[in-house]
Chain A
Amino acid sequence: MRRIMLLLLLLGILTGCLPVGRSPAGPASEMTLAVLDVGQGLAVAIVTPDGHALVYDAGNSRQDVERVIIPFLRARGIERLDYAVLSHPDQDHVGGMPALLANFPVAAYVDPVLPSTNRAYAETLRLVAQKGIRPIRAERGLVLPLGEQVTARVLWPERPFLRAPDGTVSDNDNCVVLLVEYGAMRILLPGDLEERGEAELVTRDGEGLHADILVVGHHGSRTSSSEPFLAAVRPAVALISVGAGNPYGHPHRVTLDRLRRAGAQIYRTDRDGSVLVVTDGKQYEIRTERTRS
């Protein structure tokens, strides 16, 4: 009987019908981190047990904000963000930021302050100024408290910025990397950080990069999730934000292979829809918008 139960549990986990990990204690102590399904872009929302909230990137467009991000927050009773964090000013991360700032109260805006000519980014900065939102320059060592129990630590970028061989500042390799900590749970959000930036982080933090959950860098591109980085992070679960049929072939097969070799169970928004990590700081479970067939 016990063997049958174990088999059923394993089958449930493999098909995505059951949560992975052990259930947290209950709603009163739960933090939710959601990798929201915004197609080929990134938007992550964090809601703490005591009602604080952070959004890390805002997808591609106003539609992502109106149809996905704000409804997710409102459904959890959130009426104000403690922080809106921009990892870097590429359209698939900043495109929805103006709509978020225009339509949802935000206390502080966190930015790596990278060179850019992106129009949505210019509009984002104009809105921060117009609305009196507190601007915070993201730098390694900065800690963003999220209520009493949750913190988001900025692991990257560091000054001076990393530069490409042609001397230009690389936006991906200088993007904001967050480590979210709640009790014993650690969740790493590396944005679009690529191999060079990952190597810098491994040099500085080594085993200290360990995280239970990794929101996979750069939508699963082969230019991110290098083996030394994954060896340091050692994620049990890898969440990939990726659009179905995207023209870049994300997530790349070599990245999926590296993640599997690292022992991570993979979830991806193109197949699972929005993916939620629900945790009480000790245990966690993964909830997917769509049931795996």
Chain B
Amino acid sequence: MTALRLWATVDRFEMTEEGQELAVLVFDDGQQLVVPRTALPWARRGTVLRVTLEQDTAAEEERRGEIERLQRQLFGEEEP
């Protein structure tokens, strides 16, 4: 399995109206990902993160199965 590696910088911290602290991660191509600051308690502004993406086939199967079950429940069986 090939894994894609990306780098992101903790650009800044922001706070929501409700008081939740967020970390804004900026990838090298400018895309942004906002996560709760509590997920990165050791991070400071300027921390560089290596982000690895991996396929999770178990989670994929679980989600696919749940959606298929709900679709059968709501719409019935697909006609052959």
Contact = CB atoms under 8 A, between A and B. Distances in A.
A115 B68 CA distance: 7
Given A117-B60, A159-B79, A122 B74 contact: no
A117 B79 contact: no
A113 B78 contact: yes
Interface of B: 31, 60, 63-64, 66-68, 70-71, 73-76, 78-79
Nearest to B63: A117
Interface string A103-145: 0000000010101110101100110110000010100000000
Contacts of B76: 137
A137 B75 contact: yes
Contacts of A137: 75-76
Contacts of B74: 111, 125, 128-129, 135
Interface of A: 111, 113, 115-117, 119, 121-122, 125-126, 128-129, 135, 137, 159, 247
Contacts of A115: 64, 67-68
A167 to B, nearest CB: 15
Contact of A247 (B31, B64, B71): B31
A287 B46 CA distance: 46
A61 to B, nearest CB: 12
Given A125-B71, A129-B73, A135-B74, 16 more contacts: A111-B74, A113-B78, A115-B67, A116-B67, A117-B64, A117-B67, A121-B67, A122-B70, A125-B67, A125-B70, A126-B70, A128-B74, A129-B70, A129-B74, A135-B75, A159-B78
